[in-house]
Amino acid sequence: MNYTLIHKNIPVADLTLDEATGSIQRIDALLHGEHLPVGVSVRHGAADRAALNDWWEDRSIPASRSGVREALETLGVASSKLLLTRCYGLSLSDHYWIKPANSELTWHDVNFFENPFSEDVGDALFGIPPKKEGFDFSSPDNTTDGFLKKRWKILDGKCYLIKAGSPPFLQQPFNEVIASKVAGWLGIPHIPYTLLWDDGVPYSVCEDFVTPDTELIPAWRVMQIQKKENQTSVYQHYRNCCEALGVPNVAHALDQMIVLDYLIANEDRHLNNFGLLRNPDTQEWLGPAPIYDSGSSLGYDKVTAQIRSGRNITCKP
């Protein structure tokens, strides 16, 4: 399968994808290396295929996602990576996509910021039986990460992410709301969350904070721009990488996030749920992204006695 990787309107590289696995089999031509995903290096005129493959596979729904195995069986798809080509690799987090060879499609034609998308994949991920005819794979749900059940929906013309909690307490949606309120009281830039009940089940709801003029680059990608020395902490390495990119005010925002995570005993702050915003057209760095995805906190999977004792609660800022 032959495609061109495109960054909004800029062709980046011609690719051959493996039909059986959906992975990048070969980089046939490098067109605009400066628009490669952050952390994918170029040496002697050739892009690092392994690094580009890691980035590509990170776009797919993780195998650990609640209900994903059942959804894939229902959809008749062998792996979540194969879903990527069904939606041109499009996301609501950045502006990368793949165009089939000899296609006349443009970013304006396909992107989910300006165009409606199908709810069919989201329905399947939420256990709703798919329709027998006319199933549409064109959905940003194919490119959402994380282990919790989630989906995108268009409400009043805006894109919202709806996310469930994990058994037995389904606590994460409540914690997202609480964490956003605490961040607000402290004056920390954050994404507001609200609570939605559907058939007796709670869900957190937040509006997409990425726009047609911005994109989110997770910390993990930022940290690939240079090698981490053994004696350098992860915290300092991230700061060093941001400084190398010329991103201002990172230390203050990072420290604010660590304080918030400490206060709410966040157990799941990782390198894919914080990062930086940039302009996809100019590639200008706009600064740290507001805080989001703080639901695995406040003893979300603990009984009351464990929370009161403080045992086995590991704050992981």
Residues 97 and 14 occupy one common structural domain: yes
Residues 145 and 254 occupy one common structural domain: no
Confidence bin at 37 (pLDDT 50/70/90): very high
Backbone angles phi, psi at 167, to 5 degrees: -65, 155
Instruction: List the one residue out of 104, 109, 18 whose CA is nearest residue 56.
Output: 18
Answer yes or no: are the C-beta atoms of 217 and 276 closer than 8 Å.
yes
Please report, rounded to a whole number, the percentage of residues in the chain having pLDDT higher than 90.
84
313, pLDDT greater than 90: no
pLDDT at 248: 82
- The residue-averaged pLDDT of 229-234 equals 96
- Round to whole Å and give the CA distance between 188 and 183: 5
pLDDT digit string, tens, across residues 74-125: 888 888 889 999 999 999 999 999 999 999 999 999 999 999 999 999 998 9
Mark which of 149, 167, 197 sits at the end of a domain: 149
Q: Which DSSP letter does residue 44 get? A: T
Mark which of 122, 149, 176 sits at the end of a domain: 149
pLDDT digit string, tens, across residues 153-169: 999 999 999 999 999 99
The widest CA-to-CA distance across the chain, in whole angstroms, is 63
Per the structure block, which two tokens stand in for 147?
Answer: 């282990």
Confidence bin at 245 (pLDDT 50/70/90): very high
Q: Please report whether residue 178 resides in a domain.
A: no
Q: Please report whether residue 73 resides in a domain.
A: yes
pLDDT at 3: 97
CATH code: domain of residue 255 = 1.10.1070.20
* Domain that includes residue 61, residue range: 2-149
Of the listed ranges 126-130, 137-141, 194-198, the one predicted with least confidence: 126-130
Number of domains in the chain: 2
Mark which of 121, 149, 177 sits at the end of a domain: 149
pLDDT at 102: 92
Residues 145 and 220 occupy one common structural domain: no
- Round to whole Å and give the CA distance between 7 and 278: 13
130, pLDDT greater than 90: no
Residues 136 and 44 occupy one common structural domain: yes
pTM for the complete prediction? Answer: 0.94
Q: Please report whether residue 182 resides in a domain.
A: no
Residues 145 and 255 occupy one common structural domain: no
Q: Please report whether residue 188 resides in a domain.
A: no
Q: Please report whether residue 85 resides in a domain.
A: yes
DSSP state string for 192-249:
--EEEEETTEEEEEEE----TT-EEEEHHHHTTSSPPPTTS-HHHHHHHHHHHHT-TT
Query: Prior bond to 168 cis, omega within 30?
Result: yes
Residues 12 and 143 occupy one common structural domain: yes
Q: Please report whether residue 155 resides in a domain.
A: no
pLDDT digit string, tens, across residues 1-26: 899 999 999 999 999 999 889 999 99
- The residue-averaged pLDDT of 59-81 equals 86
Residues 238 and 139 occupy one common structural domain: no
Residue 317: helix, strand or coil by DSSP?
Answer: coil
Residues 131 and 222 occupy one common structural domain: no
317, pLDDT greater than 70: no
Alpha helices (H) along 59-170: 68-75, 83-86, 107-110, 120-125
Residue 258: helix, strand or coil by DSSP?
Answer: helix
